[in-house]
Amino acid sequence: MSNDKQTTAEEVKEEKTEETAEEKIIKEEPQTEETQKQETQDEASQKDETEKAPETEVKPEEKPAGEKKPGADALSAMNDKYLRLCAEYDNFRKRSQKEKDALYADVKANTMKSFLPVYDNLVRALKQNTEDEAYKKGVEMIMAQFKTTMEKLGVTEMECLGQKFDPAFHNAVMHVDDEEKGENEIVEVFQQGFMLGDKVIRFAMVKVAN
């Protein structure tokens, strides 16, 4: 009898233990399924939010309108330096050309001045009386050629006789009183004056009346 009771007690205990295990499984299983469902839903929601979220466009940083770009000041300085250099070169070129022209005029004037004694001798030769017409004609031809050459070089004779005396062009070496002549009138030319453009090569040597 005691053995049977003991067996029955053990079976009841085992049944309760089995029931308790089964209840535990039953209680845990729904909780696990719900948890898995919730996690699945959370993941799907996060995925949808990620897909729906618009991509943020990364724009380059915009600088204020008034702000200069790096190197703008250096470029402006180089541009100013270039313009100043061009202006200085242009001034140098003009100055050099002006000096060159002035030097050429001076050289030409000095060269022609050295030939003026030849002109003076031709004038004296033409004033001499001679019966040799061929000789006289030859001297006249030489004088004409000499004058033509001077004109080509820009050298001209001064108009002196009958003009008013001007110290800027004439050199008065003699004065006379003559009521028939005007005041400071040139009445005689001893040596012809010449000009190269506006420059006097040689002053005219003259006699002035009154």
Domain count, the chain: 1
Cα distances from 205 to residues 44, 61, 124, in angstroms, run 122, 87, 15
Residue 184 within any structural domain of the chain: yes
**Confidence bin at 205 (pLDDT 50/70/90):** very high
- Domain CATH code at residue 95: 2.30.22.10
For residue 172, pLDDT beyond 50 = yes
Find out whether 193 and 170 touch, Cβ atoms under 8 Å. yes
Question: The pTM is what?
Answer: 0.54
User: Among 34, 55, 52, which Cα is nearest to 44's?
Assistant: 52
- Domain, as residue range, for 191: 88-209
Structure tokens given for 161: 């006789």
Residue 181 within any structural domain of the chain: yes
Tracing tokens 């009183």 back to the chain, one arrives at: 177
**Confidence bin at 123 (pLDDT 50/70/90):** very high
Burial 162-177 (b: 16+ CB within 10 A, else e): ebebeeebbebeeeee
For residue 93, pLDDT beyond 80 = yes
DSSP letter at 109?
H
Find out whether 150 and 112 touch, Cβ atoms under 8 Å. yes
Instruction: Give percent of the chain above pLDDT 90.
Output: 48
Residue 27 within any structural domain of the chain: no
Residue 78 within any structural domain of the chain: no
In this structure, what are the phi and psi dihedrals at residue 69, rounded to the nearest 5 degrees?
-75, 155
pLDDT of residue 130: 87
Average pLDDT, the chain: 79
Q: Determine whether 154 is exposed, middle or buried from the number of CB atoms within 10 Å of its CB (0-12, 13-18, 19+).
A: middle
**Confidence bin at 124 (pLDDT 50/70/90):** very high
Output 77 or 7, whichever has higher pLDDT.
77
